[in-house]
Each structure stands twice: as structure tokens, then as C-alpha cells.
Amino acid sequence: MNRKILFVLLISVSGLLYAQQLTRIAVVDLNKAYMAFFADSRAVREFEERSARVQNDIDRMTREIQALRSQYADAVLYNNQTEALRLENLIYRQTEYLRDYHQIRTQELETQKRNLMQSGTFLDQVYSEIRFIAETEGYSMIMNLNENDVIIWYSPTIDITDKLISNLRTKARN
């Protein structure tokens, strides 16, 4: 009788274990993979140069506004209201221009980056390699860190970006 109970219990436990499959999820940073894999390409170099030029312009305009604020403080200190008013207006206009410039250039750079990343060969290679990693390592789902606002937190142990980059580089050499 005890053997029958033990046998039924063993069958029940093994059935539960079989029915409860473990879902594995991974994340990947496609921007990082793209920049690492195509770092030597002309298109990426042009993007990085343009990005650096935009940042230099923003830094220069920020320094100019800071210098104007210093001049404004001096004008207020010496009670030169005409100069203070002129500088205040100039600071306002340049700050608005900087805000608009930053917004427009950031959108342009994001569009350029998205277009680079959506090139057919890159996406084909990446999706093929992600599929390979998912199938060989048993992942049920792999999510892009950059395009998914749903991810609030993740453990670095599930980030397969470096593995993806390594696999892409290995296959590119072959």
C-alpha cells in the first residue's frame, strides 16, 4: 500500500514539474551592439563626428550664456539698468535658441541613428544571432533595452549584449 501511495505521489510531483516550464527572459542593448559591431564603418564614424560637432556647439553656446550671465550680474551690481535689461533679453533669446537647437539636433541624431540601425544587413545578422542565442540557451523572450519603456529593472545577469557582440564579430571574421 505504501508503495502505491509513493508511486502516485512520485508521478504527481513529476507531472507538476513537467507542466511548470521555466520561462527565461533576456535583454539586449541593440544600440551598444550596433556601435560595437560597426564601430569602424564610415556611416558610424560620420554619425559620431556629427554628434561630437553638435555637442561642441551646445557647449560653446552654454559658455556664451554663462559669460552673459556674469556680465548681467556685473551690470546689476553697478546699477546699470539699461545694460542689465539688454543682457537679460539677450540671455533669454540665446537660452531659447539653445533649447530649440538642442531639441532639433537631438531629434536629427536619433533619426540618423535609427536609420543606421535599421539597415537590412545589420538587422538580419542581429536577429539571426539573437534567435540562435535564444534557441541554444533556452530563452523564451529577448527584449531590446532601448525600445522598451516597460523594463523598469533587470539583473545584469540576463543581459546578453556582450555575447551578441562577440558572436557577431566571430561570424564576421569567418
- pLDDT per residue over 67-90, tens digit each? 999 999 999 999 999 999 999 999
Give the residue from 165, 170, 164 showing the smallest Cα distance to 134.
164
Contact by Cβ (8 Å): 54, 109: yes
Phi first, then psi, for residue 25 (nearest 5°) are: -125, 145
Vertex 75, ends 69 and 76: CA angle to 5°? 90
Q: What pTM was estimated for this model as a whole?
A: 0.54
**Total number of residues shown for the chain:** 174
- Say if CB 25 and CB 155 are below 8 A apart: no
E strand segments, the chain: 25-28, 141-144
CB atoms within 10 A of CB 125: 18
**Counting beta carbons within 10 angstroms of the beta carbon of residue 67, is it exposed (0 to 12), middle (13 to 18) or buried (19 or more)?**
exposed
pLDDT, tens only, 4-63: 554 445 455 455 445 455 678 888 888 888 777 776 567 777 888 999 999 999 999 999
The per-residue pLDDT for range 99-122, each reduced to its tens digit, is 999 999 999 998 988 887 776 666
Residue 74 cell numbers, joined: 556685473
